[in-house]
A and B are shown apart, each in its own frame.
Chain A
Amino acid sequence: MSGPILVFVELGSGEAVGDGAGGADRVSLETLAFARSLAEGLGGAAVEALLFGAAAGVAGGLGAHGAATAHIVTDAAIAGAYAPAAWGAALAELAGSRGAAAVIGPGTDRGAEVLAHAAARLGMPLAANVIAATPGASWSVTRQRWAGSLLEDATLDAPIRLLTMAPHAVAVDERAGARPAAIAPLTPTIDAADLVVRVTGHEPPAKGSVSLTDAKVVVGGGRGVGSAAAFSELEELAGLLGGAVGVSRVVTSNGWRPHTEQVGQTGQRIAPDLYIACGISGAIQHIVGCKSAKRILAINTDAESPIMALADYAVLGDLHQVVPAISAEIRRRTG
Chain B
Amino acid sequence: MRVLVCVKRVPQTGGRIVLTGDGQEIDTKFLGFTISPHEECGVEEAVRIIEAGGGESTVLTLGSAAAEEQLRDAMALGIDRAVLLETDGSEWDPVSTAAAIADTIRAQEAAGGPFDLVIFGNESADSGGFQVGIRVAVALGRPVVSGLKGLTIGSGSVTARREAAGGGWETYELPLPAIVGVKEGINLPRYPSVPGRLRARKKEVERVPVGAAGTGAAAASGAPMGPTKSMLRLPQEAESQVEILGRGAEAAPAVVDLLQKLGLVAR
Contacts and interface: CB of A to CB of B under 8 A. Distances in A.
Given A311-B240, A326-B256, A262 B185 contact: yes
B249 A109 contact: no
A203 B170 CA distance: 6
B58 interface: no
Contacts of B141: 193
A136 to B, nearest CB: 13
A314 B254 CA distance: 11
Contacts of B168: 17, 202-205
A322 B249 contact: yes
Nearest to A129: B128
Contacts of A151: 232-235
Contacts, number: 304
A255 B188 CA distance: 8
Q: How large is the interface on A (under 10, 10 to 19, 20 to 34, 35 or more residues)?
A: 35 or more
Nearest to A242: B264
Interface stretch (A49-57, A70-78, A119-127, A224-232): A119-127
Contact of A317 (B26, B242, B247): B247
Given A126-B94, A154-B227, A274-B264, A321 B248 contact: yes
A150 B249 contact: no
Given A143-B227, A154-B226, A330-B265, A197 B174 contact: yes
Contacts of B234: 149-151
A334 B168 CA distance: 31
Interface stretch (A1-9, A94-102, A180-188, A265-273): A265-273
A245 to B, nearest CB: 13
B194 interface: no
A314 B224 contact: no
Given A146-B125, A322-B248, A333 B17 contact: no
A211 B166 contact: yes
A178 interface: no
A144 B147 CA distance: 18
Interface residues of B, number: 91
The winner among B134, B139, B175, B243 for most chain A CB atoms within 10 A is: B134
B163 interface: yes
Contacts of A330: 256, 259, 265
Interface in A211-231: 211-214, 216-217
Interface string B230-263: 1111110111111111111111111110111010
A305 B53 CA distance: 47
Nearest to A109: B147
Interface of A is mostly: mixed
B243 A312 contact: yes
A197 B167 contact: no
A91 to B, nearest CB: 13
Contact of A110 (B95, B165, B232, B249): B165
Contact of A313 (B13, B37, B163, B243): B243
B249 A85 contact: no
B109 interface: no
A310 B229 contact: no
Interface stretch (A30-38, A40-48, A59-67, A291-299): A291-299
Contacts of B246: 315-316
A196 B175 contact: yes
B116 interface: no
Given A116-B134, A284-B16, A85 B143 contact: yes
Contacts of A317: 247-249, 251
Interface in B109-126: 123, 125-126
Contacts of A315: 244-248, 251, 254-255
Interface of B: 13-17, 26, 37-38, 93-95, 98, 123, 125-131, 134-135, 137-139, 141, 143-147, 149, 162-175, 183-185, 188, 221, 223-235, 237-256, 258-260, 262, 264-266
